[in-house]
């Protein structure tokens, strides 16, 4: 079967799976899980590497969501490491905004739009944009591991001890 025919069959399946994912507040799926879902449900398999075709599938799903005036459902599909990937900024979307410096926060805001449209367990306050757990954990660890700069002696430029008085210059 030509790949284009497989895509025509996979797109509605992927769209439905992403809508289903959006029904659960803060839920996401992975490229791998989505690819397995569409292949399993359709009975059509590909031997292509996931990275060679999943972007094409997600782009077409993004077009469907945009045409249906739905939030950007493809924000719900992340890599195994929990990141969205730089290609997300170029995906078609019904919302008119720009990604800014942090693509992960951008995708988190779009995921919140999905949850506000579809989630059955949305908090009463409307929820908040959230990074995937993996990205949030990584950022928290990185923030905790940054060395704090300690004051230095203005004369010899050595790091001052905790007393604040230079051992060499007094």
Domain assignment present for 147: no
Beta bridge partners of 124: none
Higher pLDDT, 140 or 5: 5
Q: What is the mean pLDDT of residues 7-12?
A: 98
Domain assignment present for 77: yes
* Centroid of chain to Cα 64: 19
Domain assignment present for 154: no
Full domain range(s) for residue 132: 3-141
Number of folded domains that form the chain: 1
Query: Is it the case that residue 146 has pLDDT exceeding 70?
Result: no
Give dist(CA 10, CA 38) in Å, integer: 6
Mean pLDDT of the chain: 89
Domain assignment present for 95: yes
State residue 162's pLDDT score.
67
Q: What is the mean pLDDT of residues 73-90?
A: 89
Domain assignment present for 88: yes
Query: Is it the case that residue 86 has pLDDT exceeding 90?
Result: no
Cα–Cα distances in angstroms (integers) from residue 83 to residues 4, 34, 50, 108, in the given order: 27, 15, 16, 10
Domain assignment present for 168: no
Domain assignment present for 32: yes
Higher pLDDT, 101 or 44: 44
State residue 15's pLDDT score.
98
E strand map for the chain: 29-30, 77-78
State residue 129's pLDDT score.
93
State residue 98's pLDDT score.
73
State residue 139's pLDDT score.
86
């Amino acid at each position: 079967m030509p790949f284009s025919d497989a895509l025509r069959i996979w797109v509605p399946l992927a769209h439905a799976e992403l809508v289903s994912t959006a029904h659960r507040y803060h839920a996401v799926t992975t490229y791998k899980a989505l690819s397995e879902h569409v292949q399993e449900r359709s009975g059509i398999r590909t031997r292509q590497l996931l990275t060679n075709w999943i972007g094409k599938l997600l782009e077409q799903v993004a077009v469907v969501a945009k045409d249906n005036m739905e939030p950007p459902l493809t924000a719900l599909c992340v890599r195994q490491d929990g990141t969205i990937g730089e290609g997300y900024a170029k995906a078609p979307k019904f919302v008119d905004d720009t990604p800014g410096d942090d693509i992960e926060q951008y995708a988190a805001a779009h995921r919140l739009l999905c949850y506000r449209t579809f989630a059955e367990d949305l908090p009463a306050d409307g929820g908040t944009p959230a990074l995937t757990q993996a990205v949030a954990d990584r950022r928290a660890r990185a923030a905790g591991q940054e060395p704090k700069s300690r004051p230095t002696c203005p004369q010899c430029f050595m790091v001052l001890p905790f007393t604040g008085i230079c051992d060499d210059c007094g």
